[in-house]
Amino acid sequence: MPSYKAPFDDVLFLLNDVFRVERYANLPGFADASPDIVEAILGEAAKFCEDVLTPLNRSGDVEGCTRHGDGSVTTPKGYKEAYRQIVEGGWVGISAPDEFGGQGLPMFMTQQVNEFLSSANLAFAMYSGLTQGAIAAILAHGTPEQKATYLPKMVSGEWTGTMNLTEPHCGTDLGLIRTKAAKQADGSYKISGTKIFISAGEHDLSENIIHLVLARIEGAPEGTKGISLFIVPKLLPNTDGSLGARNAVACGSLEEKMGIHGNATCVMNYDGATGWLIAEENRGLHAMFTMMNEARLAVGLQGLAISEVAYQNAVAYAKERLQGRAISGTKAKDKPADPIIVHPDVRRTLMTIKSFNEAGRALVVWTALASDLHHRSEDDKTRQAAEDHMSLLTPVIKGVLTDTGFASTVMAQQMFGGHGYIAEHGMEQFVRDARITMMYEGANGIQALDLVGRKLPRDGGRALQAFFAEVQGFIKEQGANDTMKVYVEPLGKALGHLQQATMWFMQNAMAKPDNAGAGSTDYMHLFGLVALGYMWCRMAAVAHEKLKAGANGSAERMNAKLVTGRFFMERVLPETGAHLARIQSGAASMMELPAEAF
Ligand SMILES: Cc1cc2nc3c(=O)[nH]c(=O)nc-3n(C[C@H](O)[C@H](O)[C@H](O)COP(=O)(O)OP(=O)(O)OC[C@H]3O[C@@H](n4cnc5c(N)ncnc54)[C@H](O)[C@@H]3O)c2cc1C
């Protein structure tokens, strides 16, 4: 049975030492997030995840969800009780505004809790995670009445939320949506159509489910310019807030799938269901993007979270499993063989995952802080810069943290040899669960296209230039510092590769767009490596400072940080060179063969 321990110390190091969140005490909600409060809240979350959710991960996977004849869906045993604790603990609304019953705490708190939840039990964490995304969309685009009707119950977790985009013939290309919305005399709409793959579409955890549904109003233009967003509750709320009639929306079936069995993935049938428009007519995709962007960051975090729990179990196994002797000489003389952690190739694997996890977590915290600055700062320039950061980093976090998170999970499974392939140790479940993160919320190929096609050129490349300037500024500041050379020099080289790749696109992709498409995934990973390398440099600088100042009981951890960062710089970051070479080879060999030749 796998185990999980929330990486509490690592999180506190990032919040208190690397990003020094107390600097932002003047922002709304930050004064309530003093170090002791953060520690207390995250400590509670860690305990809940370790003690309650981790044991349900495997049983939930084995049992899965069940659809009954009347269309209702039961979640695995223990989910209902655990979800009650989510509501009682106020975990859904940690960062939601006080006026709707939230705690108003910074977004970095929500992200951190979500990492713990997703490591402990990804399938379960999705129920509350999707609700947070739906809350964000209603907050940004709902009318005052809609906010008053839905938000308090969603923020408390009593009602959950879903996002309904996908249809059988349309996933990436949402311009093909066919679900229809017919306007009624009272201003509501009748929604008809079929949505597939809807996570948490029907279940028994909450008393109501609020579906956010993309549909086309009769007579709307073709394509993405004719799509609107609707709130469609499972049970129609009465004006006094009580629950009324059942709406004409039902789960037609549950998808049989590879992983996340504890999350109900539903075919949802809308049969003239009553819905209300959110945002303007035909601007639905724009409004849904609020939820999608939030969800993309959340999915990136899921990739990291599974990598973390898989890593923890791989380390425990590598310390116990006795096979062979160390090539440098016997280590465990009293045992028939040495534990496999003595072997360099096992170390290579574990260090690769560890160095990704710790930098990935830093990248998530950095971006969550940008989200806080974007929503809470009073300074226009700060808000703009924070929005630029989020917009640029969202596809990178989604694409890189899930591609690499999955690869890390497979590497962790590999540490178990054949024992990783059988179910007993839980490693094959992590692999199955992690796989979806690369596909949903926009497959990763689409994230790469979003980065290269939309995010790089946006506002004349303002966000990209700001990112370059920040990394260059750090390199300049730390370049003369001898102890930082092993970190800063490789980062400078990797940044150079990213700049060359960007220039190559500017010179070669305008006239031949296939060159951009052909290099986009490599570019996304090249970008991700530079961002992760930058995170390592920042962590190394702080670790050095702390060691110089006496480290106050954390010397061992700070030394481990420095070594792990060095490993990343020496053994992982050089991949930027291969990405650049692939990008610069262009699209020719990729596109030359006719489709019939495949
Ligand atoms: C378990 C699960 C849960 C899900 N939950 C939800 C949910 O809650 N709500 C919801 O609405 N949807 C949900 N989805 C749907 C998911 O978001 C889609 O599957 C995903 O967006 C991809 O769409 P698709 O499957 O139709 O693939 P397609 O769009 O058919 O894409 C197939 C492949 O082609 C590539 N591709 C497509 N177009 C292009 C292009 N223009 N350029 C380059 N490559 C391209 C893609 O990258 C992909 O690799 C879920 C799916 C699953 C499996």
Ligand 1 midpoint to CA 120 (Å): 25
The answer to whether 303 and 437 have CB atoms below 8 angstroms apart is yes
The predicted-structure confidence for 202-221, as pLDDT tens digits, reads as follows 999 999 999 999 999 999 99
Structure confidence at residue 191 (pLDDT): 98
**Distance between CA atoms of 271 and 269, rounded to whole angstroms?**
6
**Residues lining ligand 1, Cβ inside 6 A:** 163-166, 171-172, 197-199, 257, 265, 436, 439-443, 445-446, 449
**Distance between CA atoms of 174 and 442, rounded to whole angstroms?**
11
Catalytic, out of 281, 441, 477, 596: 441
Q: State percent of the chain over pLDDT 70.
A: 100
Amino acid identity at 221: P
The residues, any chain, with a CB within 8 Å of residue 8's CB and separated by 6 or more, are 42, 43, 46
Task: Examine the residue annotation and report whether 441 is marked as an active-site residue of this protein.
Answer: yes
Looking at ligand 1, which residue's alpha carbon is closest to its atom 42? 446
Supply the pTM of this predicted model: 0.97
Structure confidence at residue 306 (pLDDT): 98
Q: Residue 294 — very low, low, confident or very high, per pLDDT cuts 50/70/90?
A: confident
Q: Residue 289 — very low, low, confident or very high, per pLDDT cuts 50/70/90?
A: confident
pLDDT at residue 480 is higher than 80: yes
**Distance between CA atoms of 586 and 122, rounded to whole angstroms?**
38
In ligand 1, which atom is closest to the CA atom of 165?
11
Ligand 1 midpoint to CA 171 (Å): 5
Q: Residue 284 — very low, low, confident or very high, per pLDDT cuts 50/70/90?
A: very high
Three-state DSSP state, 509: coil
In ligand 1, which atom is closest to the CA atom of 255?
1
Ligand 1 midpoint to CA 298 (Å): 17
Looking at ligand 1, which residue's alpha carbon is closest to its atom 21? 442
Q: Residue 482 — very low, low, confident or very high, per pLDDT cuts 50/70/90?
A: very high
The predicted-structure confidence for 547-577, as pLDDT tens digits, reads as follows 999 978 899 999 999 999 999 999 999 999 9
Amino acid identity at 316: A
Three-state DSSP state, 73: strand
Structure confidence at residue 374 (pLDDT): 94
**If you average pLDDT over every residue of the chain, what do you get?**
96
Looking at ligand 1, which residue's alpha carbon is closest to its atom 11? 165
Structure confidence at residue 291 (pLDDT): 82
Looking at ligand 1, which residue's alpha carbon is closest to its atom 46? 443
Weakest-pLDDT range from 30-44, 282-296, 347-361, 475-489: 282-296
